[in-house]
Structure 1
Amino acid sequence: MTDVLTFETMGTVVSLRGATPESAAEVRSVFAGYDHRYTLYDPSSVLSRVAAGTLRLGDTPTAVREVYALALDWRERTGGAFTPHRPDGVVDLSGVVKALAIRDAGAVLDTACTDWMISAGGDVLARGRHRGEEPWAVGVVDPAHRDTVVGVVRLEAPRRAVATSGTAERGEHIWRRTTPMFVQATVIADDIVTADVLATAVVAGDQDDLRRLTSDGAVDVLAFGADGTVWATPGAAPAVRDDGPQPAPGAVGTV
């Protein structure tokens, strides 16, 4: 098996650990397929044609319409904090397709590997353990100091997915519906689509959104406020390093 294999796709870098050369090649194909259909940077892609008005959304392939329906479902479930529509009305499914590619890539790796991890632009999905021994670990970087790790998330079943969304690296690329309250959010979940969507929704929303999205305990969240406040659910609080910024008293899930 390869130790670490990387490739570029969807405007980011994908890293694989524990993959066989054959499964790694299949993973690349999975990402290439999603990128070909959903990118807005290639005029020939399905979504680019929809944006240009040369193809009706209702005439797109079934798979595209199903992904759009999934995005609309998440918009409903997040109370609009997550949306597949840009402010100019263009349908942009980038908020779900990268996670779907990771999900499908994970299914590929499951057929060939026992212990693996895939990382793509702030999203991580893992199975088993690192070298069969320790849980896979994912560092959480301080958004104000990008060279400082303030927390470490250890992925163990069923919480195998973690996604981080924020403005520190790519600037204000998230469509907010309110005055910016959060600059970064890390979500730990059982599946990567939930983690990715909710990380975006938390950053796009406010404190009430954060409380509502975490009220059922289905995910754990570590969020950094624009004012420097750190918020953490009970399950995420242990990930914060003792020498890092500490969650505020009264934050989501008192710690």
Structure 2
Amino acid sequence: MTAAAVPMTRHAEHVMGTVFSFDVRGDGDHRDGIGRAVAWLRHVDAVFSTYRPDSPVSRLGRGEIGLTNCPAEVAEVLALCARVERDSGGYFTAHPPGGRLDPSGLVKGWAIERASDLLTAAGLPRHSVNGGGDVQLGAEPEPGRPWRVGVAAPPTAAGRPADGALATVVAGAGLAVATSGTAERGHHIVDPHTGRPATALASITLAGPRLTTVDAYATAAFAMGEAARDWVEDMEDLEALAVTAAGQTWRTSGFHRHVPPEFRGFLPAWPPR
């Protein structure tokens, strides 16, 4: 006799220039909770879009309004950006070359994390929220079984991977997973210290408790290149797996704990040879 299937609702929403995917498990009607989370994402887009000239962040960046004239979330996000900038030694910044205000490197992860919190508050703790490949995982989809997140293998100097090829799989609950890399947008992450694109890594995946910092730290770590290894190793509750531009891989000492046993054989050796 097989166990009854856990009720499930999946929903995709195009907002903030990407697709957000919701996977909610458990009894009851999931639509209201998902609707609240989607409304939140649309609010975030209206406030923080750098492509909308009338958004508060665009107007703040042009000096047309002050921070006190913006929704309270703007001050919250800018304070978080300043914290990540300090933590990363300036490898993350809300001011790209030229000084333009752009907190986008933190906003998406922060918005996903808050959407996850809204689902939990609505009585839907068993969920995952995925925004463009960056994921906040809630409670287990069913008791004793974790969520699984596949991380796409990036193109490197060694070649372009086959469609659907994975660099690794991360499993867990109450976990955030974020990847920064070149697979989708090429060398779009700039090293703030040089003003040039960061090219040492093809991708870096971070895992930790909360997506706000995990996503922003992934951006900073990609900009750091090889220096990211020691930096992440020293960060509490944060682990990383990187693929270099040459096609080699490295991981921090605890990353294997987030990988299902059947995939651990594909991880690089630790300590490194």
TM-score between both structures, scaled by the size of structure 2: 0.83
Counterpart for residue 247 of structure 1: 268
Distance 2:151 2:42 in 1: 28
Deviation at 1:247, TM superposition (A): 2.1
The number of equivalent residue pairs is 249
Aligned-residue Cα RMSD (Å) equals: 2.2
Alignment counterpart, residue 168 of structure 2, candidates 148, 151, 157: 151
Counterpart for residue 195 of structure 1: 214
1:77 and 2:91 are equivalent in the alignment = no
Counterpart for residue 135 of structure 2: 124
Distance 1:58 1:85 in 2: 19
Distance 1:133 1:3 in 2: 20
Deviations 1:146-200 (CA, angstroms, capped at 9, x unpaired):
520131100134xx11111111111222122465211211111011112101111
SS in 1 for 2:36: helix
Distance 2:270 2:116 in 1: 38
SS in 2 for 1:89: coil
Deviation at 1:208, TM superposition (A): 2.2
Please list every run of 5 or more consecutive structure 1 residues that lacks an aligned counterpart in the other structure.
none
Alignment counterpart, residue 189 of structure 2, candidates 174, 181, 191: 174
Q: Is the contact between residue 230 and residue 248 of structure 1 (CA under 8 Å) also seen in structure 2?
A: no
Distance 1:101 1:148 in 2: 28
Distance change (3 Å), C-alpha of 1:40 and 1:216? closer
SS in 2 for 1:165: strand
Structure with larger Rg: 2
Alignment counterpart, residue 13 of structure 2, candidates 7, 19, 24: 7
Q: Is the contact between residue 233 and residue 253 of structure 2 (CA under 8 Å) also seen in structure 1?
A: no
TM-score between both structures, scaled by the size of structure 1: 0.89
Deviations 1:114-140 (CA, angstroms, capped at 9, x unpaired):
311111112111122224441000011
Distance 2:73 2:135 in 1: 24
Counterpart for residue 51 of structure 2: 41
% identity of equivalent residues: 31
Q: Is the contact between residue 92 and residue 220 of structure 2 (CA under 8 Å) also seen in structure 1?
A: yes
SS in 2 for 1:130: coil
Q: Which amino acid aligns with 2:85?
A: R
Alignment counterpart, residue 209 of structure 1, candidates 199, 220, 228: 228
Deviation at 1:250, TM superposition (A): 5.0
Distance 2:34 2:10 in 1: 10
Counterpart for residue 3 of structure 2: none
Q: Is the contact between residue 222 and residue 237 of structure 1 (CA under 8 Å) also seen in structure 2?
A: no
Q: Where has structure 1 moved over 3 Å in runs of 4 or more?
A: 56-62, 240-244, 248-251
SS in 2 for 1:147: coil
Distance 1:65 1:39 in 2: 15
SS in 2 for 1:63: helix
Distance 1:139 1:200 in 2: 19
Distance change (3 Å), C-alpha of 1:3 and 1:222? same
1:16 and 2:27 are equivalent in the alignment = no
Counterpart for residue 64 of structure 1: 74
SS in 1 for 2:165: strand
Q: Is the contact between residue 232 and residue 252 of structure 2 (CA under 8 Å) also seen in structure 1?
A: no
